[in-house]
Chains A and B, each alone.
Chain A
């Protein structure tokens, strides 16, 4: 079946540090891949996405590249800020299949300290 695995958190970084959150997936077919962010007390917001192999999604300084050969979609940011403290969810969707829904990973909590 389809599934998403993320690195376990929580992750604590100092401001301006480099961030990597690992995400790997298992899917039948050709999934679209997403990163969602959830700030404290809020719902999830789409951060970035990629729909085919080698696509790079980017937004707000975050990037992730769709790597089909390693079935990965790792999230990176060169210099984190305190305002990036949130929970990050990797997700996939395989469209037009018997399970055409978004599947979420367990989430990785990030705390950025000044």
Chain B
């Protein structure tokens, strides 16, 4: 079980370049998320998905696009990178138990992060 993996681990872009970050999970989770982490600001939600084929905007979606064509993958795209997008990006997935003794049990699993620098 690899959990949540992210590709690449590091990337340097020039302003205006594009790139795609890949997140993959092997836990069959329905929900997936993209966050960015900046000093003193904690984690901020960029986009999320509640299932294959669905996406929704989070707190800071501008400048990013996402796709969830397969349940196990969640892609984050930057069409025209800007220095303000220099950050560490984390992907996460989660499940929520809906029945039995663990009804309502919720847990979120994070990937190791991608450090992106835009010059």
- Residues on A lying within 8 angstroms of B by beta carbon are 32, 41-46, 49, 51, 89, 93, 95, 101-102, 104-107
- In the complex, A109 Cα to B106 Cα: how many Å? 25
* Contact assessment for B42 and A107 in the assembled complex, using a CB-CB cutoff below 8 Å: yes
Q: Least Cβ distance of A29 to chain B in Å?
A: 13
* Contact assessment for A44 and B104 in the assembled complex, using a CB-CB cutoff below 8 Å: no
The 5 closest A-B pairs by CB, nearest first: A43-B110, A106-B42, A104-B42, A104-B43, A44-B110
* Contact assessment for B106 and A95 in the assembled complex, using a CB-CB cutoff below 8 Å: yes
* Contact assessment for A42 and B42 in the assembled complex, using a CB-CB cutoff below 8 Å: no
Mask: chain B, 20-60; 1 = CB below 8 Å from A; 0 = not: 00000000000001000000111101001000000000100
Q: Does B74 contact A (CB under 8 A)?
A: no
- Residues of B contacting A93 in the complex (Cβ-Cβ under 8 angstroms): 106
19 chain-A/chain-B pairs, Cβ below 8 angstroms: A32-B106, A41-B112, A42-B113, A43-B92, A43-B111, A43-B113, A44-B43, A44-B90, A44-B92, A45-B110, A46-B109, A89-B42, A93-B106, A95-B96, A95-B104, A101-B48, A102-B108, A104-B43, A105-B42
- Residues on B lying within 8 angstroms of A by beta carbon are 4, 33, 40-43, 45, 48, 58, 90, 92, 96, 104, 106-113
- Residues of A contacting B33 in the complex (Cβ-Cβ under 8 angstroms): 101
- Residues of A contacting B109 in the complex (Cβ-Cβ under 8 angstroms): 46
- In the complex, A2 Cα to B33 Cα: how many Å? 18
* Contact assessment for B112 and A42 in the assembled complex, using a CB-CB cutoff below 8 Å: yes
Q: Least Cβ distance of B61 to chain A in Å?
A: 13
* Contact assessment for B48 and A43 in the assembled complex, using a CB-CB cutoff below 8 Å: no
Residue of A nearest to B4 (CB): A43
Q: Least Cβ distance of B37 to chain A in Å?
A: 8
Residue of A nearest to B6 (CB): A43
* Contact assessment for A46 and B111 in the assembled complex, using a CB-CB cutoff below 8 Å: no
- In the complex, A41 Cα to B37 Cα: how many Å? 12
* Contact assessment for B42 and A101 in the assembled complex, using a CB-CB cutoff below 8 Å: no
Q: Least Cβ distance of A91 to chain B in Å?
A: 8
Q: Least Cβ distance of B38 to chain A in Å?
A: 10
- In the complex, A88 Cα to B48 Cα: how many Å? 23
- In the complex, A49 Cα to B96 Cα: how many Å? 14
